[in-house]
Amino acid sequence: MNNHLINLYDLNFAELTEFVAELGQPAYRAKQIWQWLYRQYTPDFASMSNLPKSLREKLAANTTLDIGPIIAEQLSSDDQTKKVLFQLADGQQIEAVLMRYEKRRTLCISTQAGCAMGCVFCATGQMGFFRHLSVAEIVAQVMHFARELAAEGEHVTNIVLMGMGEPLHNYENTLTAVDRLTDPAGFNLGARKITISTVGLVPAIRRYADEKRQTPLAVSLHAATDAERDKLIPVNRKWPIADIIDACHYYVEKTGRRITFEWALIAHENDTIEQAQALGRLLQGMLCHVNLIPLNPTQQYGGQPSSRARVDAFQQELARYGVNSTVRVRRGIDIQAGCGQLKAAVKE
């Protein structure tokens, strides 16, 4: 792929309008192209039938919609979860997942190639950090599945930025991609349908709060004491739990929005009654919700998912502190749908 081509998913509407003017075209052509990109999900220029042939040729010569080929794909045994591995122009590989629920079609999207956070139980964290994804590389993952679902008469209902990478580490590109996907004149997905996940980058959480964004925030906590969290999430040494919880209170005050805490339940590690009590004390009185997720095992981490009985006991303990929680349905375990796992398998 020619690296000098402009990826149209990198341009906002004003930039696209300017680019179209540079090609000697009237401004209304930008609106037509925008519609093809974000309403029709067209994969190529040849199908943009209301554009003159000369413009389609210019677009094909100077721009692209491609982020790279899919080099691996897996479908879960129940056909409800599909995972794809894209190879980007520079050889980096990223994953995206489609999860089908009764009424939802949820995408799990990557924001970085690899991840710098080094969480010990995460396959992406185990591989290290390579680079941030561009806006186009984030948006194109969504468009791939939007196109596929549209062919079946369905549409994307939800997006979680919980794939490879730490979204708030790639703040500008991640949030620009979110703006592109929520643009009422474009893809037009409701902001509240896109959840951004973070391991707790405190300055970024505060900035996010100040911007009063409507997109929900989820914090991957996984431990309620620094001694435990330091072992799981190295970045905790830089921003310990007290700082994260302060930032979360700030977020709730600034936005009036509920915050979600993610908790991967690891048998006999962070699923103890003591950890549940510590978490209950930490979150008591906050406008929040806890997502309990039995661990997706990875090859390089020996931890195992908690048993149902331990999950129930943990949840009951949280309820004693008035903290609401739900147990997340585990999806795609048979195809390693945990982030980074398909790439790790392809590398072996």
- Whole-number Cα distances in Å, 198 to 48, 67, 106, 248: 38, 25, 18, 11
Query: What's the whole-model pTM score?
Result: 0.92
Q: In what order do the strands lie in the sheet with 93-100?
A: 70-75, 81-87, 93-100, 105-108, 158-161, 194-198, 217-220, 259-265, 288-294, 325-327
Q: What pLDDT digit, counting tens, does each position of 115-173 carry?
A: 989 888 777 778 889 999 999 999 999 999 999 999 999 999 999 999 999 999 999 99
Note if 119 is an active site residue. Answer: no
Burial class (CB within 10 angstroms; exposed 0-12, middle 13-18, buried 19+) of 196: buried
Give the pLDDT confidence of 209-220 residue by residue, as tens digits.
999 999 999 999
Residue 108 CA to residue 163 CA, distance in Å, equals 6
281 vs 140: CA distance, rounded Å: 42
Domains of the chain: 6-64 (1.10.150.530), 67-173+341-348 (3.20.20.70), 199-328 (3.20.20.70)
Which range (43-57, 165-179, 253-267, 301-315) has the least confidence? 301-315
Q: Is the pLDDT of residue 208 over 70?
A: yes
Other C-beta atoms lying within 10 Å of the C-beta of residue 299: 12
Q: What is the DSSP letter of 194?
A: E
Set 15, 18, 95, 102: catalytic member: 95
Q: What number is the average pLDDT over the span 25-30?
A: 96
Is 288 catalytic? The answer is no
Q: What CA–CA distance (Å, rounded) separates 143 from 162?
A: 17
Q: How far apart are CA 69 and CA 89, in angstroms?
A: 9
Mean pLDDT of the chain: 91
**Phi-psi region at 162: left, alpha or beta (left = phi > 0; alpha = psi -120 to 50):** alpha
Per the residue annotation, which of 22, 269, 339, 348 is the catalytic one?
339
- The answer to whether residue 333 scores a pLDDT higher than 90 is no
pLDDT-based confidence at residue 2 (cuts at 50, 70, 90): very low
Identify the band that residue 1 occupies on the pLDDT scale cut at 50, 70 and 90: very low
CB of 343 closer than 8 Å to CB of 164: yes
Model confidence over 258-283: pLDDT tens digits?
A: 999 999 999 998 999 999 999 999 99
